[in-house]
Amino acid sequence: MNTLKKLKSIDAIYWFVAVFFIAALIFVPGFANLAALERLLSQGCVLIILACGVHLTVLNGGVDFTSTALLALTTVVGGSIMSTKGPLGGSAGALFLGLLVMVLLGLGFGIINGFSITTFKMPSFIVTMATQMIVNGLAVVYTGGASVTGMPSAFAKFGKGSIFIFPYLLIVAIGVAVVMHVITTKTLFGRQLYAVGTNHKAALISGVSPRKTIFKAYVLSGICAGIAGIVMLAYMQSGSVNYGATMFNDIMGSIIVGGTSPAGGRGKIANTVMGALLINMIDSVLNILGIPYYFITLIKGLIILVAASIDLIRMERKAAR
């Protein structure tokens, strides 16, 4: 009885992931080999990091579209700084400068988003869509559309290496997820975030400044996008303006499938990570099965709709009880 209760209290997303994983192992030939699984995990890293960042903004009832464009911008800018073909010739200093600039770019646009949203009270989805376009445009202006190659060997090692069977990139992603988990559950800022997301006015009157809290969420989301850029660059060993172009659905899908309410105030980082894994598995299974990409787009759109519907209907039932 007690175990049953415990099983019931596990969030639905874990069941989805487990069932889908087992089903894929059994029914999808080519899914169950180590190389494929490792690739799956490495590909998932970028999504996990981006989703964790955006998760914070969704918690306070907003959203951050900019992160996908930042992924592209940071890889081309950071890549061109690090590149052996660049003015710094791929030195160790260039590597560090590149990494720093990537994170700072994320931070900078996070500040712009946060400022516009808190100062002018602009709806976050429009602001971040606008900055997404601007960032994308800037990335193209910067490269002229060409991709950036010639990463230094140290960075290549970081991208391809692993401890035992755990790729470095996965470790970074898990690190980011753990930090975000701790931030949301154990810290002052986390509590403020949930409070503001639940009731903006009550938070303000209780001395929790919604402006500062929301601002910080967008800044953190920007930084996450910068880190995701680093991981992407390390994984692909080249920077391109096309990265992330179709990723926003995956990010939103991960967050919503993980049971986070788009209205704010409710949702767990761990579930978002599971959501990202699920989305990634669906992606690779569909790819293995040879489904054309436009169907994959379509299916992901449906996933968002269905997941959001299920969540809202469940909440309504709970409220009725």
Partner 1 sequence: MEKVTARAGKAAEGKRAKELFMDYGIYVILAAMIVFFTVQKPNFLTISNILLILRTSSVLGIACVGMFFVLIVAGIDISVSMNMYISAVVGGTLLNNMGMPLIVCFIASCLCGLVIGAINGFFVTKVKIVPFIVTLATYSVARGMALFLTNQQMMFLDNKVMGLASAKFLGISAFVFIFLAVVIIAHIVLTCTQFGRQLYACGNNLQGANKMGINGPRTVWFAYMICGTLCGIAGMLSACNLGVINPNFSQGDEFVVISSSIIGGASLFGGKGRVFPGAIIGIVMVQAIINGLTMIGASAYVYTIFRGVIIFLAVMVDSIKFSGEIR
Partner 2 sequence: MSEIALELKHITKSFGDVQVLKDITLTLKKGHTLGLVGENGAGKSTMMNVLGGIYQKNSGEIFLDGKEYTPASPKDAGASGIAFVQQELNLFTNLSVTENLFITDMPKNKLGIVNRREMRRTVEEKLKEVGAEEISPETIIASLPMGQRQLVEITKSIMAEAKIIIFDEPTTSLSNTEKEKLFGIINKMKEQGKSIIFISHILEDVFTHTDEIAVLRDGEIISQRKTSEADAATIIKEMVGRELTNIYPTCEKTIGEVVFETKDICQEGRFDKVSLSVREGEIVGIFGLMGAGRTEYLRCIFGLDPMSSGEVIYRGKRIQPVEPENCIENGMALITENRREEGLLLPKTLRENIVLSSLKSHRKGNGRFFMNAGKERESTAKMTEELRIKTFDPNEQTAGTLSGGNQQKVVFAKWVLSDPRVFLLDEPTKGVDVGAKYEIYTIIQDLAKQKSAVIMVSSEVEELMGVCDRILVMNNNRFTGELTKDEDYSAEEIMKYAVGGAV
Binding site residues, partner 1, CB under 8 A:
63, 116, 120-123, 125-127, 129-134, 136-138, 140-141, 248-249, 252, 256, 262-263, 292, 294-302, 304-305, 308-309, 312-313
Q: How far is the CB of 89 from partner 1 (least distance, A)?
A: 29
| Angstrom distance (rounded) from CA 163 to CA 125 | 39
Name the DSSP class of 308.
Answer: H
84 versus 199: smaller Cβ distance to partner 1: 199
Binding partner of residue 204 among partner 1, partner 2, none, CB cut-off 5 to 8 Å per kind: partner 2
Q: How far is the CB of 132 from partner 1 (least distance, A)?
A: 7
Of residues 187, 268, 212, the one with CA closest to residue 12: 268
List, as own/partner pairs, every contact residues 87-92 make where C-beta atoms lie below 8 angstroms and the sequence separation is at least 24, other chains included.
90/150, 90/151, 90/152, 91/152, 92/154
φ/ψ (deg, to 5) at 78: -60, -45
119 versus 206: smaller Cβ distance to partner 1: 119
| Angstrom distance (rounded) from CA 89 to CA 253 | 40
Binding partner of residue 150 among partner 2, partner 1, none, CB cut-off 5 to 8 Å per kind: none
* Helical packing angle, 269-288 and 12-27, nearest 10°: 20
Q: How far is the CB of 1 from partner 1 (least distance, A)?
A: 35
Binding partner of residue 189 among partner 2, partner 1, none, CB cut-off 5 to 8 Å per kind: partner 2
42 versus 118: smaller Cβ distance to partner 1: 118
Token pair in block for residue 123? 């709806």
Binding partner of residue 19 among partner 1, partner 2, none, CB cut-off 5 to 8 Å per kind: none
Are the beta carbons of 228 and 71 closer than 8 angstroms? yes
Token pair 């964790």 in the structure block, residue: 52
Q: How far is the CB of 152 from partner 2 (least distance, A)?
A: 35
List, as own/partner pairs, every contact residues 192-199 make where C-beta atoms lie below 8 angstroms and the sequence separation is at least 24, other chains included.
193/56, 193/59, 193/60, 193/217, 194/59, 194/265, 194/266, 196/60, 196/264, 197/59, 197/60, 197/61, 197/264, 197/265, 197/266, 198/264, 198/265, 198/266, 199/265
Binding partner of residue 291 among partner 1, partner 2, none, CB cut-off 5 to 8 Å per kind: none
136 versus 240: smaller Cβ distance to partner 1: 136
Residues 199, 205, 210, 213, CA torsion sign: negative
Amino acid, res. 181: H
| Angstrom distance (rounded) from CA 128 to CA 217 | 13
Q: How far is the CB of 265 from partner 1 (least distance, A)?
A: 13
Q: How far is the CB of 224 from partner 2 (least distance, A)?
A: 18
Binding partner of residue 290 among partner 1, partner 2, none, CB cut-off 5 to 8 Å per kind: none
Binding partner of residue 136 among partner 1, partner 2, none, CB cut-off 5 to 8 Å per kind: partner 1
Residues lying near partner 2 in the complex (CB under 8 A) are found at 186-192, 194-195, 198-199, 201-209, 265-266, 320-321
206 versus 309: smaller Cβ distance to partner 1: 309
Binding partner of residue 49 among partner 1, partner 2, none, CB cut-off 5 to 8 Å per kind: none
Q: How far is the CB of 267 from partner 2 (least distance, A)?
A: 12
Q: How far is the CB of 292 from partner 1 (least distance, A)?
A: 7
Token pair in block for residue 14? 């874990």
143 versus 192: smaller Cβ distance to partner 2: 192
Token pair in block for residue 254? 């991960």
